[in-house]
Structure 1
C-alpha cells in the first residue's frame, strides 16, 4: 500500500492511503523467473543416447468369464444360471470353471436382501470345503 506524501488539503504531516497496486516489482520478479527457466530448460534435456531392449511381455488375454453364485431368499442356490443345491455346489462349480485352476479362481456371491445369514454361511462353508477360498461379495450400487 502506498502513501501520498504531498498534495493539497490537510496538514503537512497528514498522509493519505493510496489503493493503487505497484506492478513494477511483480514484473521484475516475472522477468527474472523467465530468464532462469530459459537457461535451465536446455539443461533438463537428456543428451545421452541409450538403446533399450524390446519389451518381452506378451499381451494378456481377456480374463475368463466370472462365476456367480446366487442365493435367493427361498434358499435356492444357483451357479451361473443353473439351479444347484448345497450338496452338489462343489461339483457344479468345478463344472462351471472347467479346466481353470480352482485355487486361482474368484467366485462372486450375490444374495437376496432378505437372505438369512445362516444360509449364506452354509454356502461359504461349502466353498471352503471344496477348495474355493477366493470369494467376492457383490452388492448393488446405490448411485443413480
Structure 2
C-alpha cells in the first residue's frame, strides 16, 4: 500500500505555471472598450464667437429700455410709455439711449434680436450701447424655449 500512495503523490505534483488565458480575455475586452470610447472623448464643436467687452448684468426692478434688431438689421427702440417700437438709425439710437442713461445710470438696456438676424449684428449693437452710449447695464433678451414654441 505504500507504493500506491507514492504514485498518487507523484501524479498530484503542483504546476508552477500561470494560466494566462483569462488575462488575455480581459485585456482584449479592455482594448475593445478603449478603442470604442477614445474617439468619443475628442468630440467638440468649433464656434467662432464674436468678441466684445460686455459685462454681466444684475437683475433690476426698473423698466428696461429694449433695443430691437430686426431680421434685416433695422434698429428700433422701445421704452416705458411707448406702445410701438420707434425705428432709429445707429446715431439716433445712441443719442436717445445716452439721454436715458444720463437720467438714470443704473437703467438696464436689453438688446432683442430677431431669431433670423446674425448673432454678430446683435453683438455689435450690444457693444455699441456699452461703448458709445455709456450703458452700464446692457444685456441680451430672449424668450424661453417653451414660450417660443408657438411661433
Structure in which a larger fraction of residues adopt helix? 2
Higher RCO (Cα < 8 Å, 6 or more apart): 2
